[in-house]
C-alpha cells in the first residue's frame, strides 16, 4: 500500500508517493483530502543528503579525476526528510571517474 506525502517546494507543493510503512511516514499530519503533510520544504529534506555527496567527492579528490560522476538514489521519507535509497540490500553510491591522456603523454607513446 502507498501513501501520498505533500512537501512544500518553491511557491507551491509537490506530492510524493511513498510506501505506507516507510521510515518517517508514520507521524506526519493528514489533511482533509487524506494526504500526509511532511511538515517541511522539499529543499530542506534534500539538504540532508548533500553532506554524503560532498564526502564522496572529498574522499576521491586526491586522485584528481578530470571528470567525476556520483550517482545515488534518494528516497523521500515523510517527516524524516530524504534518505539514501538502497540499490539491493544496502545503501549505495555509483562513482564514475575518468582521465584522459595529456598531449605530452600521447607524443611520448608514438
Name the H helices within 2-110.
Answer: 42-47, 50-60, 103-109
Question: Reduced to 3 states, what is the DSSP secondary structure of residue 49?
Answer: coil
Q: How far apart are the first and last CA of the chain?
A: 63
> What does the pLDDT read at residue 27?
52
The predicted model gives 20-27 an average pLDDT of 58
* pLDDT score for 49: 85
Per the structure, the complete domain to which residue 52 belongs is given by 2-109
For 52-105, the pLDDT digits (tens) are: 888 888 888 888 888 888 888 888 776 667 777 776 555 677 888 888 876 665
27, 42, 52, 92 from 4: Cα distances, Å:
13, 14, 26, 25
Domain total in the chain: 1
Amino acid at each position: 500500500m502507498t501513501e501520498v506525502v505533500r512537501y512544500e517546494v518553491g511557491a507551491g507543493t509537490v506530492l510524493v508517493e511513498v510506501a505506507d510503512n516507510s521510515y518517517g511516514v508514520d507521524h506526519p499530519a493528514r489533511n482533509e483530502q487524506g494526504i500526509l503533510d511532511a511538515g517541511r520544504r522539499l529543499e530542506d529534506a534534500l539538504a540532508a543528503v548533500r553532506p554524503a555527496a560532498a564526502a564522496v567527492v572529498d574522499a576521491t579528490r586526491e586522485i584528481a579525476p578530470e571528470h567525476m560522476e556520483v550517482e545515488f538514489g534518494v528516497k523521500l521519507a515523510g517527516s524524516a526528510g530524504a534518505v539514501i535509497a538502497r540499490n539491493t540490500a544496502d545503501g549505495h553510491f555509483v562513482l564514475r571517474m575518468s582521465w584522459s591522456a595529456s598531449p605530452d603523454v600521447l607524443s611520448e607513446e608514438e
